[in-house]
Amino acid sequence: MTFNMNMTTIVMQRQLHSYFATPIAYVFILMFLVLSGVFSFYLGHFYEKGQADLSAFFNFHPWLYLFFMPAIAMGLWAPERQMGTIELLMTLPIGQTNAVIGKFLAAWVFAGLALVLTFPMWLTVAYLGDPDNGVIAAGYIGSWLMAGSFLAIGSCMSVCSKNQIVAFIFTVVVCFIFMVSGVPMVLDSFAWAPQSMIDFIAGLSFLTRFDAIARGVLDLRDITYFFAMMALWLYFTQVMLQRNKAK
């Protein structure tokens, strides 16, 4: 059950290989790029704002991720259970921890690649004005960390079902809960509760944390929050794997 970098890397490589084995991965990245562009330009009024920053772009990431990340994560475990390859994977001397982390990293790298490919947005603002590159870099880091949290939730849901679609839907639902817990409308409905509880609920939200980072404030607590989310849901993934084994 000990972490082994080498095994983790082997699992990650195989999973990445399987992502790119079909054209779906490319179509997927293309859709992500197009949609993130459309959202920023049309819905975010990227030009009209007349600001040389990417806030219009980053503001839509949580909502884009709500559907894109579950789609990346659903393929981590559900098909292995469906096809029976999980029996091979779990009887090779890989170790559960390494398998869970390796698969997750593959999904996270994949999401990172899609994110990196949005660099023309950065080029555009850099061309049009004089953006604060530090804030933009923080936005990218925050966005990637948030993607990781979505994916870790997706990893856990994917281990719970043999059916990818079921895994997708459950991931969307859970991620949605973690997002809206920061929306004022939801928080208002907790007006009866003590302020500390409202703060706690707001603190659980991806939105609250991400907004802070995307504004350029790289607070250690927000970063810790995202890493803790990933660690927690990957731990749940392993608990579920172990449970399947003993069922």
Partner 1 sequence: MIRVQNLTKRFDQFTAVNNLSFDVCPGEVLGFLGPNGAGKSTTMKMITGFIEPSDGKVSVFDMHVSQDPQAVQTIMGYLPEGAPAYGEMTVIAFLQFIAKVRGLKGEQAEQRLAKVIEQVELAPVLNKPIDTLSKGFARRVGLAQAIIHDPKVLILDEPTDGLDPNQKHQVRELIKGLAKDKIVIISTHILEEVSAVCSRALIISEGQLLLDGKPDELERQSRHHNAICLQLADEYADAQQQLASIDQIETVEAVAEPEDRTFMLFPKDGQMLLPEVVRWLDDKQWEVENIHLEKGRLDDVFRQVTRAQTV
Which residues here bind partner 1, judged by CB under 8 A? 1, 7, 10, 14, 17-18, 21-22, 83-85, 87-88, 90-95, 245-247
| Shortest distance in whole angstroms from residue 176 CB to partner 1 | 31
Amino acid of residue 209: R
In this complex, which beta carbon is closest to partner 1, that of residue 91 or of residue 196?
91
R_g of the chain computed on alpha carbons: 19
| Shortest distance in whole angstroms from residue 95 CB to partner 1 | 5
| Shortest distance in whole angstroms from residue 74 CB to partner 1 | 16
| Shortest distance in whole angstroms from residue 11 CB to partner 1 | 8
DSSP string for 72-84: HHTTTTHHHHHHS
In this complex, which beta carbon is closest to partner 1, that of residue 18 or of residue 51?
18
CA pair distance 189, 184, nearest whole angstrom = 9
Among 240, 219, 235, smallest CA distance to 161 is for: 240
In contact, 218 and 141? CB cutoff 8 Å: yes
| Shortest distance in whole angstroms from residue 87 CB to partner 1 | 4
In this complex, which beta carbon is closest to partner 1, that of residue 22 or of residue 133?
22
Secondary structure letter of residue 40 according to DSSP: I
Give the CA count within 13 Å in the CB-facing half-sphere of 57.
Answer: 26
Written as six digits, the tokens of 221 are 């607590």
In this complex, which beta carbon is closest to partner 1, that of residue 91 or of residue 189?
91
In this complex, which beta carbon is closest to partner 1, that of residue 98 or of residue 181?
98
Tokens 């040389």, residue located: 52
Amino acid of residue 146: M
Distance from first CA to last CA of the chain, Å, rounded?
Answer: 20
CA pair distance 232, 195, nearest whole angstrom = 26
| Shortest distance in whole angstroms from residue 165 CB to partner 1 | 19
The DSSP H or E segment spanning 217 is none
In this complex, which beta carbon is closest to partner 1, that of residue 87 or of residue 199?
87
